[in-house]
Each structure stands twice: as C-alpha cells, then as structure tokens.
C-alpha cells in the first residue's frame, strides 16, 4: 500500500499542477472584457390593480402605480442570492368613480428565495381629490409572484382600507425578455452545473451575456437571430461548466480518488473551455454582434471531508454527471442530426461526443464513490433515483437548421434519457 502511494506521488503532483494551470488559464481566457460595464441596478415598472375598499368607505377600488427599485446589490450571472431593493412609488386609486387618491412614497422589500416570490412594503403620504379632500398616512404590503400581485393598503387617518389583485410589468433592459420587480427569471445551466455553498448556480435568463451593446444586425433573419440567442446562452452554460469540472477534480484529489478519474475531470474542463469558445463564435455570427463567454462570479466551494464528502460525490455524480451531462449529450446529438448550417452541425456533433464522455465519467465516479462511501452513499443516491430532473428552457419554436431544439423536443430527449439512466442505476444499487 505504501509502495503504491509512493508510486502515485509524482503523478499526483502533475495533476495538481495541471489543475492550477487550467484554473489560471480559464480565468484569463474568460475574464470580463476591460470595457465591460456593470449591470444596471435600477428597475422601473408600472402596475394596475382592482379590488375592494372597506372601512370608512366601502366599494370597488381600481388604480395604477409607477415605481422604481434600486437593487441593494448588483446582479451577476451565476448569482444565487435572493434580491432586494428600495425605491420611490406613485399610485392613483379611485373608489366607486367618485373619489380619487394620489399617493407618493417609498416601496421596497425582497424575494423569499432567488427567482421566487417576493414581498414589498409601502410607506408614504396620500392626497385626496373629489368628494373627499385632505391628507393621510399610507402604508401597504404587496405579495408578488411573477407579474401578479396581491396587496393590502391602508389610509390610517380616514380609516380607509383596501385589498387588491393586480399585475406589474418591469421595463426590460435586454432583448431577451422582461424583468420582474426584483430582476429577471433565472435558469440553471445545461450540462454539468456549478455548485457553490449556496446551491446550484443559476443564471438570470434575461441578463445579456454579450457586453457589445450594438443593435441587431440588419441582415440577420429571424431564425438566425433566435438561434443566436440560444447559442449565446449555450456559451454561458459551457463556460460555467469549466469551474464545475475543476472543482470536481479538486474534490476527487481531496478524497484520493484514482488518478484516471482526476485526469478525466481535468480533460472535461478543457472540453468545456472549447465548447464555450466555439458556441460564442457561432452566436456572434448569428447575432451580428460580438459575444464573450464569462465565468460566473461566485465563490468556490470547499471539499467535504470523510464520508460526507463521498456521499456528496455520489449524489452529484448521479445528478450532474449521469443525468445532466447525459441529457446534454442526447440533446446535442439530436440537434446535430437536424442542423443544416455546417458550423452548427459540426459544433453540436463535437459537443455530443464530449458530453457523452463526461456522462460516462459521471458513472465511473459514481461507482467509485459508492464503493468508498458504503451503504450511506448508496442510500443517498437511491433516495434521488426518482427525483424530477428539470431541463433548462429552450426556445418555444425549434430552429433546427441552426442546431437549436425547441422546449418540447428538449423535454422529450431529457425524459427518455432519465428513464434509461434509472434502469442503469438499478444495476449498480
């Protein structure tokens, strides 16, 4: 045993050096360009609401609002933190078509969880017009889910209260779609996800990857533009998989895993660097604007020691390797067969081969980690066997000629691969 350890020491040192080199290279290659600008921290929106008034006056209430929210921290791709903010708001409300109030004040709050529901509070002053005139103190709260709102509001001096239901629309900052009260919707990456101490890294779907703010090229057709956005997101996902595999290699080294597994994880990181680069080049051609893939701005996760670390390696190898990487391979394989554009077809073909190899690495690590972790590791994986696996969003319409699948096709491919993977897992448990 001692002789085996001594024999492995030079190879181990070489793997550690390679990990350090790849970490430095990826940071240099995918760093944000010098001319990049920070994301906007102000969101502006409008809303409408209807409901019932009660207290000193009873009746039907309807109205509208304008508001802005200054986020307390900048939004970054790969950010898992729940967002919060504060800003001014202006409301107009009418009861029974005979009396109106104008309210000016502050609104602010935050999400319960990243990309989840949110709660906002209101504090301000009210001026009455119509049959009732005067000033009042306004307070309120609003529960928010996507664009929909449920609010309770009070004018305390007049003892006038209201419960309303409404909707909000926040002005989009990008071409990719709308933001909501505290930012855009988020999605997890395709391929191996990057995990941090805060959970699986997700991305704001509507934050631009490209920092080149030029308008859409006039000679880009609709299909090419739609596909370009899809390849832009793909570059972002592939780039995030680079630190994910480097982190996997570090954890395998920490648990003294076989050198072949560590070497394969490092090779996978190299593959993802190439995927990010070629995906960005394809997106740039289709969009008519330069696209740069950038590493997620998230803190690294420290390896877990002992049996807990082996359990984590087992469960994540099943979820992130066997399932997610396998799904990515099947998606790319299907897209390659459908693609007409030569560059898109060759890119998807390359990605399919590499992701299939990454999925097999997941199975190899799973077997080793469950053997090293014993029954506890097997039980942990078994508990996740039938869990739902969410595929990342695709475009509603397929752009097959450019190697992009629609959401329905992505779901079909993912569900079929998950079923096959579960049967294969049963043979190992």
- Residue 355's nearest CA partner among 267, 290, 415, 425 is 267
Query: SS3 letters for 360-403?
Result: HHHHHHHHHHHHHHHHHHHHHHHHCCCCCCCCCCCECCCEHHHC
Instruction: State the pLDDT at residue 83.
Output: 81
Instruction: State the pLDDT at residue 293.
Output: 83
The phi and psi torsions of 139 (rounded to 5 degrees) equal -135, 160
Cα–Cα distance for residue pair 382/281, rounded to 1 Å: 41
Q: Please give the average per-residue pLDDT across 410-415, as a whole number.
A: 88
Question: Where in 240-304 does DSSP place strands (E)?
Answer: none
Is the pLDDT at 310 greater than 50, yes or no?
yes
Instruction: State the pLDDT at residue 37.
Output: 37
Cα–Cα distance for residue pair 294/127, rounded to 1 Å: 49
Instruction: State the pLDDT at residue 368.
Output: 97
Confidence of residue 320 (pLDDT cuts 50, 70, 90): very high
Instruction: State the pLDDT at residue 177.
Output: 41
| End-to-end CA gap in the chain | 28
Instruction: State the pLDDT at residue 354.
Output: 96
**Could you identify the residue written with the tokens 């060759």?**
346
Give me the percent of the chain exceeding a pLDDT of 90: 52
Instruction: State the pLDDT at residue 329.
Output: 95
CB count within 10 Å of CB 389 equals 14
Domains and CATH numbers, the chain: 12-36+208-426 (1.10.620), 42-170 (2.40.160.20)
The phi and psi torsions of 335 (rounded to 5 degrees) equal -65, -35
Higher pLDDT, 82 or 244: 244
Instruction: State the pLDDT at residue 175.
Output: 35
Cα–Cα distance for residue pair 182/143, rounded to 1 Å: 12
Tell whether the torsion through CA atoms of 348, 353, 358 and 359 is positive or negative: positive
Confidence of residue 13 (pLDDT cuts 50, 70, 90): confident
Instruction: State the pLDDT at residue 184.
Output: 64
Q: Tell me: the pLDDT tens digits for 154-212?
A: 999 999 999 999 998 876 544 334 456 777 655 555 678 888 777 777 665 544 444 44
Read off the pTM. 0.68
Largest CA distance in the chain: 95
**Could you identify the residue written with the tokens 């001096």?**
157
Instruction: State the pLDDT at residue 219.
Output: 45
For the chain, count helices (H), then strands (E).
Answer: 7, 12
Q: Tell me: the pLDDT tens digits for 34-70?
A: 333 334 577 888 999 999 999 988 999 999 999 999 8
**Could you identify the residue written with the tokens 């390797």?**
321
Instruction: State the pLDDT at residue 144.
Output: 92
Instruction: State the pLDDT at residue 171.
Output: 65
Higher pLDDT, 223 or 37: 223
Give me the percent of the chain exceeding a pLDDT of 70: 82
CB count within 10 Å of CB 126 equals 23
Instruction: State the pLDDT at residue 197.
Output: 77
Cα–Cα distance for residue pair 74/85, rounded to 1 Å: 10
Q: Please give the average per-residue pLDDT across 294-322, as a whole number.
A: 90
Instruction: State the pLDDT at residue 190.
Output: 66
Average pLDDT score, the chain? 83
Instruction: State the pLDDT at residue 216.
Output: 47
């Amino acid at each position: 045993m001692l002789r085996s350890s001594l024999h492995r020491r030079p190879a181990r040192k070489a793997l550690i050096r390679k990990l350090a080199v790849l970490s430095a290279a990826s940071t240099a290659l995918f760093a944000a360009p010098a001319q990049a600008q920070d994301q906007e921290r102000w969101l502006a929106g409008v809303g409408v609401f209807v409901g019932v008034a009660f207290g000193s006056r009873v009746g039907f209430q309807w109205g509208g609002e304008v508001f802005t929210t200054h986020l307390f921290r900048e939004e970054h791709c790969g950010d898992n933190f729940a967002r919060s903010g504060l800003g001014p708001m202006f409301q107009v409300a009418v009861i029974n078509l005979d009396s109106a109030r104008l309210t000016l004040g502050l609104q602010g709050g935050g999400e319960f969880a990243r990309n989840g529901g949110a709660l906002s509070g209101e504090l301000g002053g009210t001026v009455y017009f119509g049959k009732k005139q005067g000033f009042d103190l306004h307070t309120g709260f609003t529960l928010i889910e996507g664009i929909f709102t449920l609010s309770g509001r009070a004018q305390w001096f007049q003892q006038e209260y209201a419960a309303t239901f409404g909707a909000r629309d926040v002005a989009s900052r990008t071409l990719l779609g709308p933001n909501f009260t505290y930012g855009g919707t988020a999605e997890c990456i395709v391929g191996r996800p990057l995990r941090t101490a805060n959970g699986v890294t997700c991305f704001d779907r509507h934050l631009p990857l490209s920092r080149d703010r030029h308008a859409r090229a006039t000679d880009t057709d609709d299909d090419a533009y739609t596909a370009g956005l899809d390849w832009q997101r793909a570059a972002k996902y592939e780039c995030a998989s680079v630190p994910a595999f480097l982190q996997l290699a570090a954890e395998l080294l920490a648990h003294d895993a076989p050198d072949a597994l560590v070497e394969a994880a490092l090779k996978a990181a190299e593959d993802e660097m190439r995927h990010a680069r070629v995906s960005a080049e394809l997106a740039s051609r289709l969009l008519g604007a330069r696209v740069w893939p950038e590493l997620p701005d998230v803190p690294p996760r420290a390896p877990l020691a002992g049996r807990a670390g082996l359990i984590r390696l087992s469960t994540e190898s099943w979820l992130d390797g066997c399932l997610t990487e396998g799904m990515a391979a099947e998606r790319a394989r299907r897209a390659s067969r459908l693609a007409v554009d030569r560059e898109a077809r060759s890119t998807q073909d390359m990605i399919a081969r590499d992701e299939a190899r990454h999925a097999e690495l997941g199975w190899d690590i799973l077997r080793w980690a469950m053997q090293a972790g014993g029954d506890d590791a097997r039980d942990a994986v078994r508990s996740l066997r039938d869990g739902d696996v969410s595929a990342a969003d695709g475009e509603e319409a397929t752009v097959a000629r450019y190697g992009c699948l629609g959401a329905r096709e992505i779901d079909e491919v993912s569900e079929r691969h998950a079923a096959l993977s579960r049967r294969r897992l049963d043979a190992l448990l």
